[in-house]
Structure 1
Amino acid sequence: MAGLLAEAPPRADRAYVTLVTNADYARGAAALVRSLRLTGTTADCVVLHTGGVPDADLDQLRALGARLVRTDLLETSAAFNASHARAALHGAAPFTKGGKPAFHTPLDNFAKLRLWQLTEYRAVVFIDADAIAVQNCDKLFGYPEFCAAPNVYEGLADFGRMNSGVFTARPSEATFAAMMAALDVPGAFWRRTDQSFLQHFFPDWHGLPVYFNMLQYVWFAMAELWDWPQIRILHFQYEKPWQDPHPKAAELAPLIALWRRIADGGEMPPLAELPRP
């Protein structure tokens, strides 16, 4: 497949897919893959990785049984690349609710669209590398394309926007080609990169419950929504749990501790024993 190079053949016809663009996100992806395996899934865990990831940082993912697929960045125009570079994007559309770490590279986010080229799979679920699975999510493979949870972490108005940290897809070269035709058009500016583009491309997106993509800020901003027995995926939007120092270490301490437990090789604790906001 043009733009993709897999290290090994698939072992299943379904896959969880994540994207790794540097060593920091490789660390996050390792915790994600560990958490998925702890849920008992038999689906493949695919890591799309760009040239920005040293091979040594991929070794842990190989050891965890992830299927590594080298991906090229999208072939976008110079004007598109300039407007979506970190300084330009954050200058035109700054993040005002939380902080993105210095290793966040917004232009690279668009490479996740290459998962539509993984046509060896009948169904995929994308999960950002800054997330962990809390419970089994295999039911998502039976959901249609395109399903995503709303970008809820501050108030009811958030329900009108989707978050692309978790979504369902059906790989198709035809869909990928249509995306490429719609992505890099004159004057294109996708305020939140792939997230804004996917909401545009799939205007009738199916809404998943927020528990399939529970954003960490809900912990302190909308505590009444937090319900461990219902949460399937915990997503560390904005600050990452491996950052040290962590700008919101006090506010998010229990969630950071859970991520570190999984990343360090521990088991998922009984949900009833986890602290509540």
Structure 2
Amino acid sequence: MPPMRTASLTEQPGEREIASFAPLVHRPLVIAGNGPSAAVPPQHRLPADPVVFRMNWFFLESHYHFGSHVDAWFFSVPNQTLEETLAQEIRSGRYTVDRLLSPMQLPSGRDGDGWGNQLLDVDVVQQDHWAVVARHPRLARRFMSRPGLPTTGLQALGFALAVGFREVYLSGIDLYESAEARYGYTVTDQVAAALTAKDITPGYESAHSIDTDLAFLQACLTEFPDARVHNLSESVNLSVYLGTAPEQVEGPDLAAGSTAHLGEPKDRVVATLAGAPGADPVVVTAPRDRRLWQEVDGRRCAYVTVVSGNYHHGARALAGSLRRVSDVPLLALATADADRVALAASDIHVIDVPEIRNPNTSQRFQQRFQHTYTKLNVFRLDFLDRLVYLDSDTVVRKNIDELFAGHGFAAAPDSGFDRASSREFNSGVLALEPSHAQFCRMLDALAATPSRDGGDQGFLNSFLDTWEALPVEYNTTKRVFAHHPALYTDADVKVLHYVGNKPWDPLRDPAHDRYAELDRDWLDCLEAWELRELVTDLRAVASAQAREDAGLQVSGGSSLSPFRQAQKLNAKRRFAQAEEVLRDAWRTKEATPAELRELARALRAQGRHSEAVATLRTAARLAPESMAVTRELQAARARAVVQTLRRLNAKVVGRG
């Protein structure tokens, strides 16, 4: 859609809107409000295949009471959650909406709004229904009264008659007469947080009144005496002026027409995953027409990933890469902190799963891996016959549907800093047959099964006795590109795994990034609007970081842990400050392996390689099983030797 609604000052107000609706006005129109009666529309009194007007939060309905297609959506009060949720409903395919009717510009054209245009990349025509009402003084006068405006449903009626509709049915416009309920749907907690008390309390709010609505209704009937307006709402007051519409006897009714998905539930239960000790049951639902699997050789198959925190950016790139090479759907297992709105907007189906943590928490494990046990939920998806799991920091470069043809558990050998070895597999790409029994055995074994790295990869390698080795092309980590370039053949890579720092990580130093070429390929997997949202998120992080830095300078303190402070300072190349933060912290606490690694990085950057070696030796004593610490210690020793040799050589040259 255009970035904002525009109309030349030489045009008459409403001309564009009248022209837009001209092809529709010969059909009957249903104006569907959100009152309690909207949940049970009398379909036998509504005509077949009508034009449909909806308004405000209509998409909170549990069923498609008036179908899934909306010819025009009306709203008159700015609300960020309202606008972004509608965009999500459209992007995810739950509804198709042709036009947006509002007297206001969207946020890009509204002064004082603290949010951007949520519908910037949604294909909806933006129009102004007040511009049409303004052409009729009898109607416009009612927009200038106190205590307020006609409510949105009556505004839609005035607009409809003014553009030329003559057979109109009002349904779900109950004029807030119910003392028990205001709406015909349940207001979710997320929506309630975006509203005020007056918006969810039965009865009229102070900005409107029933007298204003009835006066506007009278004005409409007087202005357009040839119109037939039928009342199908549960409103005593409307019935005084309109009566009740008769049953459809001259033609088919709404139920007999072709209205898309009429009366269907918006979500259907696909499967219920049984619970287990430490893992609650999971109800898997899906919207209409959503495929959660595709049959491959008679088996139900799907790609699966796990998303938490800001990893929706990674999942978006993964989904974009998959769409280029495969028709098999991608499912996202989401933890409580995942951005479900972002995932749904990218047409990624979300299944909420409980978080599973490593019960053997210890300072010697990498904290960032302790939550990755949530990945074990993939083993319980037994409504699938076979699945291919992909970490949300991977992208698929070639079709890998052949992995659905196998049997048993398959993974690629781990590689990166070290060359691929048959001793351990990398858990970023897995092919398997889900089994609730195996999932339960895994949960039972959590406490007694060691994990080398504290995460799911260490656990799975300890738990599983056998595994089929896939070629490394199915899980090529980006570190092979940097550390073993002779073994990296770009044309052969099927799945590229962005281990370590992520392409969407705002703390990286671009001037010293050896993976810029691969990151560019990752960015190409995003849609243009997804890339804009990534930029917006990165700006927000940068802004928050700037405020935090200003707070540090003013107060000398921070709510971040010493490790996080040092990590951020190292990323900004403020190595001496990182060292100072850590050494100050250790005056009152013991150093952790992660903190020692950050200190070693700061020391190396300052050219103090021997001190870095001593620091990493301490970290290795605290975390003897950490391969990352071992690798960094080996690299630090090599740098220290090189530095020593250079100094000796300089002395020899000086003596000569």
Same fold (TM over 0.5): yes
Cα distance in 1, alignment partners of residues 420 and 398 from structure 2:
27
1:203, 1:265 → 2: CA distance?
45
The amino acid that maps onto 2:364 is A
2:457 maps to amino acid: Q
Q: Deviations over 1:172-227 (max 9, x none)?
A: 11111111122223xx5412211111112222211111110010011111111111
Matched, 1:51 2:336: yes
What does 1:193-272 correspond to in 2, within 5 Å? 193-247=455-509, 250-265=513-528
Q: Does 1:69 align with 2:351?
A: yes
1:77-130 deviations in Å (ceiling 9; x for gaps): xxx53x33xxx3xx4145xxxxxxxxx742321111111211111100111011
> How far apart, in 1, do the equivalents of 2:293 and 2:451 lie?
35
Aligned to 2:425: 162
SS state at 1:180 partner? helix
Q: Provide the rounded CA distance (Å) in 2 between the counterparts of 1:48 and 1:254.
A: 29
* 1:50 aligned partner, one-letter code: T
Structure possessing the higher radius of gyration over alpha carbons: 2
1:11 Cα deviation from its structure 2 partner = 4.1
- Relative distance call for 1:157 and 1:35 in structure 2 (3 A) is closer
**Which of 408, 413, 433 is equivalent to 1:145?**
408
Report how far residue 161 of structure 1 moved.
1.7
Is the 8 Å Cα contact of residues 117 and 171 (structure 1) preserved in structure 2?
yes
Residues of 2 paired with 1:139 and 1:265: CA distance?
30
What SS is found at the alignment partner of 2:491?
Answer: helix
Tell me the distance in 2 between the aligned counterparts of 1:247 and 1:93: 26
Given candidates 311, 314, 318, the residue that maps to 1:25 is 311
Which residue does 1:92 correspond to in 2? 364
Match of 1:5 among 283, 292, 305: 283
For 2:314, give the aligned amino acid. G
Of 308, 320, 329, the match for 1:34: 320
Contact kept? 2:450, 2:462, Cα under 8 Å: no
User: Aligned partners of 1:44, 1:63: CA distance in 2, in Å?
Assistant: 15
Looking at structure 2, the residues matched to 143 and 246 of structure 1 have their Cα atoms a distance apart, in angstroms, of 39
- Aligned AA for 1:182? A
Q: CA RMSD in A?
A: 2.1
Conserved? CA contact 2:330–2:348, under 8 Å = yes
Per the alignment, residue 271 of structure 1 pairs with none
The answer to whether the 8 A contact 2:386-2:434 is kept is yes
Query: Hey, what's the Cα distance between the residues in 1 that align with 2:315 and 2:430?
Result: 16
Q: Which moved more, 1:238-247 or 1:161-170?
A: 238-247
Shift of the alpha carbon at 1:7? 3.4
In structure 2, how many angstroms separate the alpha carbons of the residues matched to 1:217 and 1:253?
12
* Letter of the structure 2 residue corresponding to residue 34 of structure 1: G
Q: TM-score, normalising length from structure 1?
A: 0.80
- Deviation of 1:149 after TM superposition, in Å, equals 0.7
**How far apart, in 2, do the equivalents of 1:242 and 1:157 lie?**
27
* Paired position in structure 1 for 2:74: none
How far is 1:247 from its partner?
Answer: 4.5
Give the distance between the partners of 1:64 and 1:122, measured in 2 at CA: 25
Amino acid at match of 2:523: R
Per-residue deviation at 1:131? 0.8
Runs of 4+ displaced beyond 4 Å: none
8 A contact 2:389–2:428 mirrored in 1: yes
**In 1, distance between residues paired with 2:410 and 2:464?**
9
Structure having greater relative contact order (Cα 8 Å, sep ≥ 6): 1
Q: How far does the alpha carbon of each residue in 1:149-180 deviate from its partner, in whole angstroms, 9 at most, with x for none? A: 11111334644221000011101111111111
1:191 maps to 452
Please give the secondary structure, in 2, of the residue aligned with 1:60: helix
TM-score scaled by length of structure 2:
0.35
Aligned counterpart in structure 2 of residue 179 of structure 1, from 431, 434, 442:
442
Q: Is the 8 A contact 2:394 2:496 kept in 1?
A: yes
Structure 1, unmatched stretches of 5+, are 95-103, 267-277
C-alpha offsets along residues 10-29 of structure 1, whole Å, 9 cap, x if unaligned? 3421111100121x111111
Q: 1:44 and 1:174 mapped to 2: Cα distance?
A: 25
TM-aligned CA distance change 1:161 to 1:37, over 3 Å: same
Match of 2:285, as an amino acid? E
Identical pairs, percent: 28
Q: For 1:130, give the aligned amino acid.
A: D
The answer (yes or no) to whether the contact 2:419–2:484 under 8 Å persists in 1 is no
